[in-house]
Amino acid sequence: MTTTTVTTPAGVTSVELTDDGFFVDPSVWTEDMVPELAAREGIATVTDGHWQVVRFMRSEFLTKGTGPSVRALGKTSGVSVKELYELFPKGPAKIAARIAGIPKPKGCI
Amino acid sequence: MTHRIVILGGGTGGTLTANRLRRRYTPEEAQIVVVDQDDRHVYQPGLLFVPFGLTHTEDIVRPRGRQLKDGITYRQSPIDFVDIEQNQVFLSDGSTLPYDLLVIATGATLVPEETEGLTGPGWMEKVFTFYTPEGSAALEAALATFDGGRVVVNVVDMPIKCPVAPLEFCFLADWYFTERKIRDKVQLTYVTPLDNAFTKPVAAQQLAGMLAEKHIELVTEFNTGEVDGVEGKLVSYDGREVPFDLAVVIPAHGGAAYVGRSEGLGDELNFIPTDRRTLQSHARPNVFVIGDAAAVPTSKAGSVTHFEGDVLVENIVHFLAGEELEPVFDGHANCFIETGFHKALLIDFNYETEPLTGHFPSTVGLPLLKESRLNHLGKLMFQWFYWHTLLPGRDIPGVGSAMPSSGKTPVSASSPTEHTS
């Protein structure tokens, strides 16, 4: 576990992250953290497409308790799997989950 | 009053549920109807052995209706959709089946068409799957004439049925090519979307070690976007390529297609959201789910279905009597992992406990997470138990539904219990 700080217009927030970079406590996340969290994942400009996916991940987590897999994301978010990889080249489910401040999506067993 | 029980699917889960229920209720108490679209009950664990000539498809397929006890009606028809508001199943032949209680046991279906190019040029020529009887038979012929080159085993996406089977395929291929004295001419590669060889940490480490020992290359976090059967390469969504001369692909899985046509029943992959402890669906209280069709966080495997059977039937009896359900299913899974050279590993786990070392079912028994000839014999013997004990709905002596913990060696508390990807 590591602790980091995220700077937003509202001020500086201390955030605990798991070893692989996911929020330990999703409730400390706010939307205005997105630009800085995205920048850390190598996304310099947060486009409407990024926002659509990040908000979708967040709402899926809040209703279902886990973020969706890439394939489920492609079927339900309105963004195709191909486009998802264009938006998040290093892995949509993982990277978007980090930016959306939710736990690592549960893989299937 | 006679309860009308309709069971969709005449595979492992549907058959054992029907047979157990038939013993619990007289025909006056309950009418039991099983529906399936064909009359071929496949012993699916056998599919792994077909490509290596160790068994043949005709030896692992039997008629579905014949596995059902007297007094169970077998209807052969594709399913159009289920109307959970009206408690009716609409069959493709135009007839309807009204029910008081519905059991969904239609398993998981392969959806190769979801992957670009997979069923295009080269399919069944140099791109195969062993997850169907036709595919495993075609692969047997292809392997028999294969005299060297790059063999790639690729899992497209999770979840899949029997998540250890692709690894077993790798181990058996290593043995097969060694026996044929051409192992040095074959490059074996295992390509997975997971970040290790398997989902559960302790087993993943052990299995990754075995791949390395057998000189099988491991490519992880590979999300297959395209299978190019002309050029002979897998292409991931993030642009990586893995070349092959022969590809063994495990296509993405989904639930049965009729689930997607049934309002309010399934999720985006056509699996059924289900209470993981009671096996009652989230869709309706009078709809229960068993086996691969259920969206519950355990393996899609015959052993899980077998262990669910106990809990499911008790809960159906409770439900029809107006009693409270018992939240007792623990996610128990138990899998033999064939490792080649007449040996196998055994893993045993549930929702909370990952596969550990030790012995099963207690301190005296089969070795866990360790190669042994005994486990290999256990795997071979299992087919007899499947047709004669498991499907008829009898218990296997010494093997209960809940996971046994005596005989298991705990791991250090530092390793996580649940894999995520």
| Residues B127 and B231 reside in one and the same domain | yes
What pLDDT band is residue A107 in, cutting at 50, 70 and 90?
low
Token pair recorded at residue A81: 């799997």
Domain boundaries of chain A, sorted by first residue:
2-99
pLDDT of amino acid B412: 54
A76 touches chain B (CB under 8 A): yes
What's the mean pLDDT in A94-101? 94
The CA–CA distances, whole Å, from B386 to A19, B261, B303, B380 equal: 43, 32, 10, 11
Interface of B with A in 311-340 (CB under 8 A): none
- How many angstroms away from the CA of B284 is the closest CA of chain A? 18
- Residues whose CB is less than 8 angstroms from the CB of residue A6 and which lie 6 or more positions away in sequence, other chains included: A12, A13, A15, A33, A36, A37
- Is B297–A105 a contact, with Cβ atoms under 8 angstroms apart? no
Which residue range is the domain that position B163 belongs to?
112-252
What's the mean pLDDT in A18-30? 92
| Residues B126 and B242 reside in one and the same domain | yes
Helix (H, G, I), strand (E, B) or coil at A3: strand
Run of H or E including A58: helix A48-64
| Residue B137 counted as domain residue | yes
pLDDT of amino acid B420: 35
Of B263, B293, B320, at which residue does a domain stop? Answer: B320
| Residues B286 and B402 reside in one and the same domain | no
- How many angstroms away from the CA of B37 is the closest CA of chain A? 27
| Residues B248 and B117 reside in one and the same domain | yes
Helix (H, G, I), strand (E, B) or coil at A4: strand
Helix (H, G, I), strand (E, B) or coil at A77: coil
| Residue B327 counted as domain residue | no
The angle at the Cα of B58, spanning B138 to B151, to the nearest 5 degrees, equals: 25
Checking ipTM against 0.85, whether it exceeds it is: no
- Is B420–A91 a contact, with Cβ atoms under 8 angstroms apart? no
- Is B237–A104 a contact, with Cβ atoms under 8 angstroms apart? no
| Residues B231 and B141 reside in one and the same domain | yes
Q: Assess whether A108 carries a catalytic annotation.
A: yes
pLDDT of amino acid B406: 79
pLDDT of amino acid B381: 85
pLDDT of amino acid B322: 97
Other beta carbons less than 10 A from residue B154's beta carbon: 26
How many domains does the structure of chain B reveal? 3
| Residues B15 and B84 reside in one and the same domain | yes
Predicted TM-score of the model (pTM)? 0.91
- Nearest to residue A101, comparing CAs of A11, A34, A4? A34
pLDDT of amino acid B354: 87
End-to-end CA distance of chain B: 49
Percentage of chain B lying above the pLDDT 70 cut: 97
pLDDT of amino acid B400: 77
Classify each residue of B228-254 as buried b or exposed e, where b means 16 or more C-beta atoms within 10 Å of its C-beta: bbeebbbbbbeebebebebbbbbbbbb
- How many angstroms away from the CA of B420 is the closest CA of chain A? 4
Crossing angle of the two packed helices A92-99 and A48-64, in degrees rounded to 10: 80
pLDDT of amino acid B330: 95
Looking at 3.40.50.2300, 1.10.10.370, 3.40.190.10, 3.60.20.40, the CATH number of the domain A2-99 comes to 1.10.10.370
Residue in B159, B225, B237 nearest the CB of A108: B159
- Is A91–B221 a contact, with Cβ atoms under 8 angstroms apart? yes
User: Looking up tokens 């899974």, which residue turns up?
Assistant: B333
> Which chain B residue has its CA at the smallest distance from A103's CA?
B420
| Residue B418 counted as domain residue | no
Backbone angles phi, psi at B80, to 5 degrees: -80, -60
| Residue B415 counted as domain residue | no
Residue in A71, A85, A107 nearest the CB of B421: A107
In order, the DSSP letters of A6-46 are EEETTEEEEEEE-TTS-BS-GGG--GGGHHHHHHHTT--S-
Residue in B114, B199, B223 nearest the CB of A109: B199
Residue in B158, B237, B299 nearest the CB of A107: B158
- How many angstroms away from the CA of A73 is the closest CA of chain B? 9
What's the mean pLDDT in A78-84? 91
Residue B152 near residue A102 (C-beta atoms within 8 A) = no
Tell me the C-alpha distance between A89 and A85, whole Å. Answer: 5
Regions of chain B short of the pLDDT cut 70: 411-421
- Nearest to residue B302, comparing CAs of B54, B75, B47? B47
Half-sphere exposure of B251 (CA within 13 A, CB side): 22
- Is B252–A103 a contact, with Cβ atoms under 8 angstroms apart? no
Check which CATH number belongs to the domain holding B165 and give it.
3.50.50.60
A104 touches chain B (CB under 8 A): yes
Residue B293 near residue B256 (C-beta atoms within 8 A) = yes
Please give the mean pLDDT across all residues of chain B: 93
pLDDT of amino acid B284: 98
